[in-house]
Amino acid sequence: MWKSIQPAPPDSILGLTDEFRKDKNPEKVNLGVGVYKDENGSTPILRCVKAAEEELVKIEKTKSYLPISGDPVYAAAVQRLILGESSDVIKDGRVVTAHAPGGTCALRVGADLIRKFNPVAKLWVSSPTWANHNGIFGAAGYEIKQYGYYNPQNRDLDFDLLMNDLLKVPAGDVVVLHACCHNPSGVDLTNGQWQQVAELAARTGWIPFLDFAYQGFGDGVDEDRFAVEQFAAAGIDCYVASSFSKNFGLYNERAGAITVITPSADEATVAMSHLKTVVRTNYSNPPAHGALVASLILNQSELRTVWLEELADMRERIKNMRKSLVQGLNAQGVDGDFSFIEKQRGMFSFSGWSDDVVAKLRKDDSIYVVGGGRINLAGLTRSNIEYVCAAVAKAMK
């Protein structure tokens, strides 16, 4: 069969890391994939994760299957994390969570669940969005549409366009929203704007599906859940895909969750029964290790305190790198106002570097940037920032 088939193109983000690994230039810099790096350029295991793993080794008694929806203690911890400890939605029992292998599976399971009962629903993503949204939702069979989001002229959110577009989305269609730290632009809605979008969803009947992969990378774990709280309070169906790759550094453990919020506890019970059938026919039941680690950390106050400190360190280092990048580009005399980089949030910045500049950076200086100019700020360190800024100055001449 394969004789007549053309190879698929490499993945626009993970494919870049493959190329980076092969690059022999000792000064190479990977600003591509969204993986946190510390000041030494490495991605260490968080201290709280190491401690939880040691404890897990001691207390774990079996490797037997988890339930289809995963570990219930983990699911409850995820709900408290994404909705807040005193959430009415939790008290009222109108939320269910299935532990999923990473944010990607959480998105796919949620997408399959909705499509099972509404096969004509279209799915709307922001323009631009994480490249893999198109892949995941396309593979789930959705027709994908775009709503306005980013304005490249002022490098900011085009909120009027977003509201106009979302006003026209038919009831029953699915709208994917980045709960915080928009990927790839780094441009988020204000709290007031989130309230307006949640009201619009309740009024018009489209279904919000929040991708929540960067909780804690914006302003903090509690602050970053504002959008989720608004949709939960609206009393409508709502979906949340969580990833713990970034905020727990559990990238290769694939720890995530899909949460379904409904207007009543009875509906939540029905949703969970179908969620289980979707999981069962995809991967049967989830892998345990990463989720059990996250669960231990979330449920033990000492580990949780260490986690929040480590998360704050990651967030602050990225913010500092934003400042240093702006200063470095200015010091190199690069034409333009780069102050917008400091206003963006999360791991990424839409740098505004053209595809031509991106290509030159890679070819001439082994600096890897995702097409469209998205850079991962965490790839910058005190030791490579001058090299990167000088290379940008050269490439933009």
The site for ligand LMR (CB under 6 A) is made up of: 13-14, 33-34, 130, 132, 183
| Minimum CB distance to ligand LMR, residue 28 (Å) | 17
To the query of whether residue 266 is one of the catalytic residues in this protein, the response is no
CA–CA gap between residue 236 and residue 381 (Å, rounded): 44
**Nearest residue (CB) to ligand LMR, 132 versus 351:** 132
**Nearest residue (CB) to ligand LMR, 20 versus 130:** 130
Among 49, 44, 23, residue whose Cα is nearest residue 300: 49
**Nearest residue (CB) to ligand LMR, 20 versus 206:** 20
To the query of whether residue 11 is one of the catalytic residues in this protein, the response is no
Quick one: DSSP state of residue 354? Answer: -
**Nearest residue (CB) to ligand LMR, 14 versus 265:** 14
To the query of whether residue 122 is one of the catalytic residues in this protein, the response is no
CA–CA gap between residue 211 and residue 216 (Å, rounded): 14
**Nearest residue (CB) to ligand LMR, 205 versus 371:** 371
**Nearest residue (CB) to ligand LMR, 34 versus 128:** 34
| Minimum CB distance to ligand LMR, residue 151 (Å) | 21
Task: Report the interhelical angle of 355-365 vs 385-395 (nearest 10°).
Answer: 120
> Do 361 and 389 contact (CB within 8 A), yes or no?
no
**Nearest residue (CB) to ligand LMR, 208 versus 256:** 256
Residue from 28, 37, 246, 360 carrying the catalytic annotation? 246
| Minimum CB distance to ligand LMR, residue 101 (Å) | 13
Q: What are phi and psi of 223, to 5 degrees?
A: -65, -40
| Minimum CB distance to ligand LMR, residue 245 (Å) | 7
Q: What are the residues whose beta carbons fall under 8 Å from the beta carbon of 302, sequence distance 6 or more?
A: none
| Minimum CB distance to ligand LMR, residue 185 (Å) | 12
Residue from 71, 173, 188, 211 carrying the catalytic annotation? 211
Question: What residue is closest to ligand LMR based on CB?
Answer: 34
Burial-class residue 18 by CB neighbours within 10 Å (0-12, 13-18, 19+).
Answer: exposed
| CA 383 to chain CA mean position, Å | 27
Burial-class residue 389 by CB neighbours within 10 Å (0-12, 13-18, 19+).
Answer: buried
3-state secondary structure 163-180: HHHHHCCCCCCEEEEECC
**Nearest residue (CB) to ligand LMR, 94 versus 345:** 345
3-state secondary structure 123-165: EEEEECCCHHHHHHHHHCCCCEEEEECEECCCCEECHHHHHHH
Give the amino acid at 237: D
CA–CA gap between residue 354 and residue 331 (Å, rounded): 20
Question: Which residue has 């990048």 as its token pair?
Answer: 325
CA–CA gap between residue 30 and residue 377 (Å, rounded): 10
| Minimum CB distance to ligand LMR, residue 250 (Å) | 13
| Minimum CB distance to ligand LMR, residue 370 (Å) | 7
| Tokens found for residue 121 | 């629903």
Quick one: DSSP state of residue 377? Answer: G
Residue from 37, 112, 124, 130 carrying the catalytic annotation? 130
Q: What are the residues whose beta carbons fall under 8 Å from the beta carbon of 14, sequence distance 6 or more?
A: 33
Element (H, E) at 273: helix 265-282
Gap between the terminal Cα atoms of the chain: 48
| Minimum CB distance to ligand LMR, residue 105 (Å) | 12
Which residues are catalytically annotated? 130, 211, 246
